[in-house]
A = this chain, B = another copy of it.
Amino acid sequence: MATITLIGAGNVGHHLALQLYKAGHTISQIYSRAIEKAATLASLVNAEAIADFDALDKQTMIYILAVKDDALEDVAYKLQAQNIQQGIIAHTSGSVPSHIFEGKFEHYGIFYPLQTFSKQKAVDFQALPFCIYGNTIDTQDQLFQLATSICPNVYLINDQQRATLHVAAVMVNNFSNFLYGMADEICQDHQVPFDILKPLIQETVSKVLEHSPKTVQTGPAIRGDQQTIKKHLDFLDNYPHYQEIYTKISNGISKWKSVEPV
């Protein structure tokens, strides 16, 4: 079991603290610039709340930085000033490279749960993938063990792979949600309940869980059905931005034509 200090009491920090505590680890301290935020979370996991880096427990085995991407470098400098010798410094970001820690700490790495977090909703740590990386084998082992204690799907992922995953995650998560929102908007505008589409949304996903997406692509663009595409573009005349997106994606799909469908 590890002793952990958590820097940041936002969504990611919140869920990680609860999960690590539940798994039997000791949460020594929770830091937040807003002491009441730190205190609320600390009270749930039997930890000390701090809002001052000078109060930092220097003996913690692992310091997890669950702060916003653009605050990471600044926090790293502040931790460096505390002269931490033994502990591992790891951040939870999908897009910030690990080398921001280089030269500042002996042992550092990444502790990145790949999922969208919102405080209202419980996070299923059984399902999410956990990406870890350590600057040494020993650091990597410790972070791997820690991740494995709360999640069955742990991957060793280096900085370049993580950068790839982050872009890909934006596509499959944020961008597909945007498509749902576009569809919802045009349905609402034309008195069609968006609910009708939900079985189709589920079917689309269940297909991609079993097949490579390019091989199961359907629709007018992959069929080269210009008549339907034109009809749809006409329909979108009042939505010029959606029209552009429709065109760009259809062009993208038509380039996949050479891929053999199943």
Contacts and interface: CB of A to CB of B under 8 A. Distances in A.
A199 interface: yes
Contacts of A222: 174
A150 interface: no
B213 A173 contact: no
A183 B172 contact: yes
Contact of A116 (B157, B164, B178, B200): B200
A244 interface: yes
A251 B241 contact: yes
A167 B215 CA distance: 22
Contacts of A182: 168, 171, 252
B202 A169 contact: no
A236 B216 CA distance: 24
Contacts of A219: 170, 173-175
A192 B197 CA distance: 31
A52 B109 CA distance: 71
A184 B256 CA distance: 13
A83 interface: no
Contacts of A183: 167-169, 171-172, 213
A133 to B, nearest CB: 13
A59 interface: no
Given A120-B262, A183-B168, A186-B164, A178 B249 contact: yes
Given A172-B180, A201-B172, A252 B256 contact: no
A196 interface: yes
A56 interface: no
A165 B197 contact: yes
A168 B186 contact: yes
Contact of A196 (B155, B174, B209, B253): B155
A203 interface: yes
B173 A225 contact: no
A99 interface: no
Given A173-B219, A184-B212, 19 more contacts: A95-B231, A114-B196, A116-B204, A118-B262, A124-B203, A155-B193, A155-B196, A165-B196, A170-B219, A172-B180, A176-B180, A177-B204, A177-B208, A177-B216, A178-B213, A178-B252, A201-B209, A241-B251, A244-B248
6 contacts: A95-B231, A116-B204, A155-B193, A165-B196, A168-B183, A172-B197
